[in-house]
Each structure stands twice: as structure tokens, then as C-alpha cells.
Amino acid sequence: MDINSHLCLSQINSFMEPLFHYETVSEAIAELTKQGYTTDFNLDQNFLYANGVVLEPHQFEIVQVYRYEGNTDPADEAIVYAIRSESGLKGILVTGYGAIMDGVSPRMLDRLHYDLK
């Protein structure tokens, strides 16, 4: 993946300063895994799920966010979320931009939204 931009945002619901940068999505995932984010979350319209666990938008917090933008190919664009549930389960969600978010509920979109000020 050809990446020309990457940004980590430390707290989703407040003004965020870049915290740390990983060069690639793979590097971000590897480092987050070392930090205990071992669950591989998937996105559904209204919730996150993994290994039989379902999390509604109010049941998790986004601890870190890494945004990657490709030079020319929109398929190279991705967002890596470090997520922690109310029960302490830690994991990673990787999403693309645009069409992949079609059909996701407004509640979930609000939860995953962040401001790149």
C-alpha cells in the first residue's frame, strides 16, 4: 500500500492532537496488538462484532485513530481504530472510506466520526 499521510488522534470526542505515527496500516495493527488490542472487530450497520461479542455504539470507546491516505488510489485509504469496550475488551477495527460506510446506521457513524482539526 502506497501511503503518503498518516495521523493518530488520541481522544475521539474532544480536540485531538496527533499522538504517534505509524508508517503503514500493518505497522499500526502490529503495534496496537502489542498493546493488547487483540480482538479483530468487524463493522455492521448498527454494531461492532467479533468472536460472538456484539457491541452497540454506546458500549465502546475509541482510544486511538490512525488515518491513512493513498497517493492516487482511493482503495489505499483506511482508518484504523483502537477500541475498548465497557467490559475491557480491546481490539482493532479497520475501515475504508466512502462506499464501505454505506448502510451504516447514523448512530454508528456518529460514534466513529472524528474531527481532524
Q: Render pLDDT for 66-112 as a digit per residue (tens, 0 to 9).
A: 888 776 566 668 889 999 999 999 999 998 876 556 677 888 877 87
Closest CA to 14 of 100, 117, 109: 117
CA distance linking residue 108 with residue 77, whole number of Å? 20
Q: Are 116 and 97 in contact (CB under 8 A)?
A: no
Of 46 and 103, the structure prediction assigns the larger pLDDT to: 46
Predicted model pTM: 0.76
CB 1 within 8 A of CB 74: no
Q: Which amino acid is at 103?
A: G
pLDDT in tens, 5-32: 444 444 333 434 445 678 889 999 999 9
Q: Give, in order, the Cα–Cα distances in Å from 86 to each of 15, 55, 70, 77, 107.
A: 22, 9, 33, 29, 17
